[in-house]
């Protein structure tokens, strides 16, 4: 998979992809991540990438031209499955979207700033608008990092234990059951006996029960879908 991220703050995206699982995924060749600075495509003297909004009002709007030339350049080089815009008014991201997107070959992710991008960018180029939750971030970069992480870890071979992505919370519309490691007792708090029993059937049953119990308690909406 190839992911091109378009941003005015490339520095914000340096560390999320340079350590741990995301770093290994790139080193092993599962994903290529390119961060492009939109400012490099600004043609005016001051390299401005934003402008006042028509109709007045506080807040700048990201200009069409630099973003359009960058997107058009990339689209001449290859075909993209989706051109995604990270925005609080997009569709709220869920595991099933990540599953679908993890099958993509090429993705563009545009990070918004200020009041957002000129609407015509959305009309002409954007194929999908994604929000990572009902709150507003200072920019789309951290949202893009969340999206990329959630997608890349699903690419086969990225996680060491191939089955572990399948047992994640949400993957089967259930939250994960509680987990424990050593010691078997901490300040009077004991690991449930069944987990120490070695009885794999019983353990599996216990985990399913706990997952269901936790989901009913915390996210009953998942069970209604």
CB within 8 A of 176, min separation 6: which ones?
A: 167, 168, 169, 211, 214
Q: How many residues does the chain have?
A: 225
Nearer Cβ to ligand ADE, position 33 or 174?
33
Residue 9 touches ligand ADE, criterion: CB under 6 A: no
CB within 8 A of 204, min separation 6: which ones?
A: none
SS3 content of the chain, % helix, strand, coil (to 5): 35, 20, 45
Residue 137 touches ligand ADE, criterion: CB under 6 A: yes
CB of 5 to ligand ADE, least distance (A): 13
Nearer Cβ to ligand ADE, position 92 or 223?
92
Place of tokens 């909004």: 53
Q: Taking a C-beta distance cutoff of 8 angstroms, is the pair 13, 110 a contact?
A: no
- Name the residue with the smallest CB distance to ligand ADE: 143
Exactly one of 8, 143, 150, 211 binds ligand ADE (CB under 6 A); which one? 143
Nearer Cβ to ligand ADE, position 87 or 106?
87
Nearer Cβ to ligand ADE, position 6 or 86?
86
213 vs 191: CA distance, rounded Å: 18
Contact string (CB under 6 A) for ligand ADE, positions 14-53, x = contact: ----------------------------------------
In sequence order, what DSSP letters do the residues of 119-145 get, joined into one string? HHHHHHT-SEEEESSSS--SBSHHHHH
222 vs 148: CA distance, rounded Å: 23
Nearer Cβ to ligand ADE, position 113 or 210?
113
CB of 45 to ligand ADE, least distance (A): 29
Contact string (CB under 6 A) for ligand ADE, positions 79-118, x = contact: -------xxx-----------------------x------
Q: Which of 128, 133, 140, 127 is nearest to 86 (CA)?
A: 140
Contact string (CB under 6 A) for ligand ADE, positions 47-86, x = contact: ---------------------------------------x
Which H or E run includes 73? helix 64-77
Exactly one of 5, 6, 110, 132 binds ligand ADE (CB under 6 A); which one? 132
Q: Rule CB under 6 A: which residues touch ligand ADE?
A: 86-88, 112, 131-133, 135-137, 140, 143
């Amino acid at each position: 998979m190839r992911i091109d991220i378009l941003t005015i703050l490339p520095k914000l995206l340096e560390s999320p992809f340079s350590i741990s699982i995301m770093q290994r995924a790139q080193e092993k060749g599962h994903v290529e991540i390119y961060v492009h600075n939109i400012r490099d495509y600004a043609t005016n003297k001051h390299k401005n990438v934003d402008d006042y909004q028509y109709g007045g009002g506080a807040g700048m709007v990201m200009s069409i031209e630099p973003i359009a030339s960058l997107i058009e350049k990339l689209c001449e080089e290859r075909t993209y499955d989706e051109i995604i815009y990270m925005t609080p008014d997009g569709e709220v991201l869920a595991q099933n979207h990540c599953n679908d997107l993890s099958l993509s070959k090429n993705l563009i992710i545009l990070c918004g700033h200020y009041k957002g991008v000129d609407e015509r960018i959305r009309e002409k180029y954007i194929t999908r608008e994604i929000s990572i939750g009902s709150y507003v971030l200072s920019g789309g970069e951290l949202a893009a990092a969340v999206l990329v992480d959630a997608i890349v870890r699903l690419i086969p071979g990225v996680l060491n234990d191939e089955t572990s992505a399948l047992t994640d919370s949400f993957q089967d519309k259930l939250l994960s059951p509680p987990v424990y490691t050593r010691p078997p007792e901490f300040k009077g708090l004991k690991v449930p006996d069944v987990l120490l029993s070695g009885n794999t059937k019983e353990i599996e049953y216990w985990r399913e029960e706990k997952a269901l119990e936790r989901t009913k308690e915390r996210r009953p909406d998942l069970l209604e879908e």
